[in-house]
Copies of this chain bind each other. A is one copy, B any other.
Amino acid sequence: MAEANRQIVLDRLPAGDKLAREHFKLIETPAPSPGEGEVLLRTRYISLDAANRAWMQGATYRSALEGGQVMAGGALAEVVESNVGHLAPGDMIFADTGWQDYAVLPGQRLAKLPAARLAEGEPVTHLMSVYGIAGLTAYFGLLECGQPKAGETVVVSAAAGSVGSIVGQIARIKGCRVVGIAGGAEKGRWLVDELGFDAAVDYKSPEFKRLLRAEVPDGVDVYFDNTGGAVFEAVLFAMKNFGRIACCGALSQYDGAPPPHGPRGIPGLIVTKRLTLRGFVVMDFDDQREKALADLQGWVASGQLKVQEDIVEGLENTPAALIGLLAGDNRGKRMVKVR
């Protein structure tokens, strides 16, 4: 291939400071060629996730990133050339291509995405949002770890994000009262007016704790935590006896120095309120994936679940799109349309 491959390199790791444009650089190299057992992929939509930032800190379910390499990240990609039998040009896959136009990956562990999952006219991006990691994370975290029952009160943080926006809608489908925590009054209105949340609370308000308490006068049965930090602590103190906390991420702790201490009330409140806290990552539930996808598809088809996608144009804008995501400027699943 003579074509150029634009690549965004993580030039240096942010060492305890906030992620910024200067941590990245855009370079061009010749597009690679696939060897035996390999596949050449063209990235179409790059997924942006808080996890991109977490990988820079090490200590996650994948090994830490190093400076000087193409920035890691998942993408919806199209097979251009295949040296494995089960993939052919034109097939769509989801893989860790990194932030670049083209990637060569071993074909063995790549699986073709089932286009049949999409309804007539449904955008291919749904495979990466509601039927992708975001949708499955929301589904398993809420239903398996949170175990909500109809009539219970569910609170979700980063509620306007890719996962949170789905968590809240599934909780509504299950008959729960849903309170979303998000930054700013405008996002709150969007959650209530567009997504059907019962209420929203602005964590940036100096009155945050009081506002939260006012929206959950009888306490919280299920908390889906995406943020950690001060928001986690505030909800912890508002939990009901026998409440459940699904620990999905610690967004507040990814970008910048790690906090010197954890939330107060641990483990004292866990005991007196008999709480269950459970951490998970979506891969832990791979064996229940088909059931989850069938449910999600049904809810999308019936209009009960609105898919929220936040699509940024252009590979060169990927760093800014991630930095913005970490600051909470997205609505639903953020991705970059590569070209």
Seen from chain A, the residues whose Cβ lies within 8 Å of a Cβ on chain B are 59-61, 225, 228, 232-233, 245, 247-250, 253, 258-281, 284
6 shortest interchain CB distances as A-B pairs: A261-B261, A270-B279, A262-B266, A262-B262, A271-B279, A277-B277
Tallying the copies of this chain within the complex gives 2
Of the candidates B233, B258, B271, B273, which one forms a contact with A250 in the assembled complex, judged by CB atoms under 8 Å apart?
B271
Contact of A264 with B271 in the complex, beta carbons under 8 Å:
no
Q: How far is the CA of A149 from the CA of B265 in the complex (A)?
A: 29
Of the candidates B247, B269, B274, B278, which one forms a contact with A280 in the assembled complex, judged by CB atoms under 8 Å apart?
B274
Q: Which residue of B lies closest to A273 (CB)?
A: B279
- Decide yes or no: A262 and B259 within 8 Å by CB, A271-B247, A271-B248, A271-B250 being known contacts: no
Question: A245, A250, A264, A267: which has the most chain B beta carbons within 10 Å?
Answer: A267
Task: Give 26 A-B contacts (CB < 8 Å), ordered by A residue.
Answer: A59-B272, A60-B272, A228-B268, A233-B262, A245-B267, A247-B267, A250-B267, A250-B271, A258-B264, A259-B264, A260-B261, A260-B264, A261-B264, A262-B263, A262-B266, A262-B267, A263-B267, A266-B266, A270-B277, A270-B278, A270-B279, A271-B281, A274-B280, A274-B281, A276-B278, A277-B277
**CB neighbours of A260 from chain B (8 A):** 261, 264
Contact of B271 with A280 in the complex, beta carbons under 8 Å:
yes
Contact of B272 with A279 in the complex, beta carbons under 8 Å:
yes
Of the candidates B266, B272, B277, which one forms a contact with A276 in the assembled complex, judged by CB atoms under 8 Å apart?
B277
Question: A261, A265, A271: which has the most chain B beta carbons within 10 Å?
Answer: A271
CB distance from A279 to the nearest CB of B (A): 4
Q: How far is the CA of A270 from the CA of B223 in the complex (A)?
A: 14
Q: How far is the CA of A248 from the CA of B268 in the complex (A)?
A: 9
**CB neighbours of A261 from chain B (8 A):** 260-264
Contact of A61 with B279 in the complex, beta carbons under 8 Å:
no
Q: Which residue of B lies closest to A275 (CB)?
A: B279
